[in-house]
Structure 1
Amino acid sequence: MDPQPRMASPAPSSQASSRPSSRPSSRRSTPAQEKPEFDERDELEENSTRESTSELEESDTSTHSTAQDTDPDPEADPEGEMPPFRLVDIPDKGKGLIATFPIPKGKLILLETPLFILSEERCTNSAVLVALAARTREEQRDFFTLANAYRGTAPRDASSSPSPESSPDSKCAMKISPRRPLPALGIFDTNALPIPTTDAKGNPQTDLGLFLLGSRFNHSCTPNVARTWDAAAKAMAFRVLRAVEPGEELCTNYVDVLGTRAERAAELEEKYAFACLCSVCAASKEEGVESDRRRSKIGRLFEEVGRCGKEPTLGMRKLKIALRLLKEEGLVHYEASFCFDAFQFCVLVSDIPNAKAWVRKAWEATCNISGPESASARNFKMYWANPRAHQLTGMLPRLTLSGPDP
């Protein structure tokens, strides 16, 4: 069998760091289809949203949310009481979260337990309403203020025209599909985040969780926030990917950011019914062409590096190009994967000093994304202490490669 570096890499702990070839979606791409029904509970809950404005505007965290960090910055928040972000109205986006003080790279800004979780097989309007019935009235109201990408006055057939409708609390424009889900399901489908888990037989599967505050992160094609599921805490963790200034919006990504601008725009319109206004998508045509070229090249390099198991020198050259392009595009959340590939190339040829340098860099990048206690970070730290423990060590003739660029 050919030695393939990527085969033995630790399982990624985050959607943000997974391989683009799998094209993972941040949220469910299509609504669960069920027979249209009238449900009095649905009508009552939707009406209840008009009773008051969401409490999130006054208190930036819910009972299911905590903003914390294992290494707080006393200069950024001397009293240790100011939340790292606040919910505000953002022009052309609806609601969004902006930083309240300088936030350093890797800081945990939100650890939020889900309001409720559903399996993909149980995603029906009735199931959402049953789950909501167990929550408080305030939480129910907050749920119904979230965006609904399938908002519309009534279901339509293919020949009818959509009727424009908008909500000041909505971060996406109206979207009507031929089989529009009822409001509760539409909101859940728009905002639910994937939660990795296993079935009764231990096989991996994905559940879907609703996060009242985590849903307020808007999309950017150059996100400054990564999210990972913390299985121990049973909560979604949101960490800053790079240093953020006060007043800067905090954004995650809803779609694969390695697609071209046209591909991303089409996916966002189809799944979330809005046009992206981030700096990358709003750039000039010439700048957009260059960005598309770099991102497409990164995507190809993901595949090419994985085929260089017998050619570590070539693989190292390719991944260094990818790391340079990632830096130019500001997509730091893919860095750890390439750095671990470099580590594996080094252990293949018993280049232990450079292997240690690369796995340390992979560990640092992973800590910024998923924290030092994540499974990937612990694995990287183990290999940093003992690179020879990796199963690929010495499978190819001894050779000195190169370490990370300064």
Structure 2
Amino acid sequence: MAAPSRPPFLFLIPILTAIFLYYWNVTGQQQVLEAYLVTDLPGRGKGLIATRNISRGELILRDKPLFVFPASIHGSPHELIAKHLTELTDYQRAQFHGLSYLPVSSEADIPLSIFQANAVAAGAGTVGLFPNFARLNHGCAGAFNAVYSFREKEGEIVVHAVKNIAAGSELLTTYFDTKRPRASRQVHLLQAYGFSCQCSTCSLAPSLSTLSDQRLEQMSLLYQRLGLWSSNPQQLRKGAEGEEAVEIARKIWSIGSEEGYVSERGQLAADVVHICLAHSDVRAAQAWADLAIRWYGYELGRDCLQIEIVKKLIARPESASSWARRSPQTLPGTDGLRE
């Protein structure tokens, strides 16, 4: 009996696989490729537009740097960038030169201006230029819907959605801590990045903008007061400093929900875990640990190191460095906090 013949198209499979893997590696993407599209935005250069609905916590983008430099360098930055540009592929150089930059006095200054306008921190003491990530535009306070983090082990930036994002919406991250009044944000962005922000938070009507400023300022002040628990607990309620600290964290959370500022929540909840353990309240610590794990998953990815740290901490609370360092107290949990 003759062996069955192979379908004629089977020889295409390894070819198509190779093409896909090449594109995957060149772009640095490991997410569904059609999650966003690089689009020209009138008067604003380019940006990323969602091509489908994106769920909170979803990985949107991961990106490798074209190059990484020390934050402080000796010698000419022009020469350093020029040297590294010669080591890139034609495709990578095209990516680099396609990025935005601030006005310069001569063409020779363009590469440095591109780097200054688009580079971000890439680990301790280094900055890098990530060409796909650089297409993400900025949104203040409640306007941004995605956050990024640098993964030291992989040497890459990852971006996750912190809100549900509807198809057709622009993907926005935040370039700095925007828990400050609109006027202060506008000055910083104009000086550092050369643009006047027109995000939905900065475009609020005057009365609503004032309320937003008040919420953001209150969040900043509350974060400062929360820090007193470790640095100067005598400034908190005597005999109830743990309870007051957790109440402050709950208030930060609630104001953030009202403002739409839903970033840094994994870290906030993880900080409260340590407070609960210091006051020997395992029940409250478990509730806050669950919240920290959930929000670290949204912001940094469910495979992030921070989640592993929290899990190990809550699995053996008595082994925590903060365990029982303060007077025993029964502390508030997470009931009633809005996601």
Matches within 5 A, 1:339-354: 339-354=269-284
1: CA distance, partners of 2:287 / 2:91: 50
The correspondence for 1:65, drawn from 19, 28, 39, is 28
Query: Does residue 1:126 correspond to 2:45, yes or no?
Result: no
Residue in 2 aligned with 1:326? 256
1: CA distance, partners of 2:265 / 2:71: 31
Query: Does residue 1:255 correspond to 2:255, yes or no?
Result: no
Report the TM-score, using the length of structure 2 for normalisation: 0.84
Shift of the 62–280 alpha-carbon distance from structure 1 to 2, 3 Å rule, reads farther
Contact 1:255 1:267 in 2 (8 A): no
Contact 2:288 2:334 in 1 (8 A): yes
Residue in 1 aligned with 2:333? 403
Larger Rg: 2
2: CA distance, partners of 1:359 / 1:278: 33
The correspondence for 1:101, drawn from 27, 52, 55, is 52
Contact 1:356 1:387 in 2 (8 A): no
Query: Does residue 1:217 correspond to 2:144, yes or no?
Result: no
Query: Does residue 1:267 correspond to 2:192, yes or no?
Result: no
Structure 1: gaps spanning 5 or more residues: 1-59, 69-80, 156-179, 198-205
Residue in 2 aligned with 1:315? 245
The correspondence for 1:115, drawn from 25, 41, 66, is 66
Shift of the 181–358 alpha-carbon distance from structure 1 to 2, 3 Å rule, reads farther
Deviations 1:50-84 (A, max 9, x none): xxxxxxxxxx987142132xxxxxxxxxxxx6521
Contact 1:265 1:276 in 2 (8 A): yes
Deviations 1:349-377 (A, max 9, x none): 21111110001111111111112332222
Shift of the 66–218 alpha-carbon distance from structure 1 to 2, 3 Å rule, reads same
Residue in 1 aligned with 2:110? 183
Residue in 2 aligned with 1:297? 218
1: CA distance, partners of 2:91 / 2:145: 30
1: CA distance, partners of 2:250 / 2:108: 46
Following superposition, the deviation at residue 345 of structure 1 comes to: 2.2
SS in 2 for 1:333: coil
Query: Does residue 1:145 correspond to 2:101, yes or no?
Result: no
Give percent identity, aligned residues only: 26
2: CA distance, partners of 1:97 / 1:225: 11
Amino acid at match of 2:152: A
SS in 2 for 1:83: helix
Following superposition, the deviation at residue 397 of structure 1 comes to: 2.8
Query: Does residue 1:90 correspond to 2:41, yes or no?
Result: yes
SS in 1 for 2:34: coil
Aligned-CA RMSD value: 1.9
SS in 2 for 1:259: coil
Residue in 1 aligned with 2:155? 234
2: CA distance, partners of 1:225 / 1:212: 17
Contact 1:64 1:115 in 2 (8 A): no
Contact 1:372 1:378 in 2 (8 A): no
Deviations 1:242-301 (A, max 9, x none): 111111110111122111101110000001110111100000111111111111111111
Amino acid at match of 1:216: R
Residue in 2 aligned with 1:34? none
Deviations 1:200-246 (A, max 9, x none): xxxxxx21111111100000003211111112221111111111111
2: CA distance, partners of 1:303 / 1:331: 17
1: CA distance, partners of 2:302 / 2:273: 19
2: CA distance, partners of 1:120 / 1:339: 31
2: CA distance, partners of 1:372 / 1:341: 18
2: CA distance, partners of 1:125 / 1:266: 27
Residue in 2 aligned with 1:388? 318
Query: Does residue 1:335 correspond to 2:288, yes or no?
Result: no
Q: Choose between structure 1 and 2 for higher RCO, CA contacts under 8 A separated by at least 6 residues.
A: 1
Shift of the 121–61 alpha-carbon distance from structure 1 to 2, 3 Å rule, reads same
Report the TM-score, using the length of structure 1 for normalisation: 0.70
* Count of aligned positions: 301
1: CA distance, partners of 2:161 / 2:24: 17
The structure with the largest helix share of the pair is 2
Shift of the 276–95 alpha-carbon distance from structure 1 to 2, 3 Å rule, reads same
Range 336-345 or range 238-247, more displaced: 336-345
Shift of the 89–256 alpha-carbon distance from structure 1 to 2, 3 Å rule, reads same
Structure 2: gaps spanning 5 or more residues: 1-22, 234-240
Residue in 2 aligned with 1:172? none
Deviations 1:314-370 (A, max 9, x none): 111211111101111222112122212322222122111111000111111111111
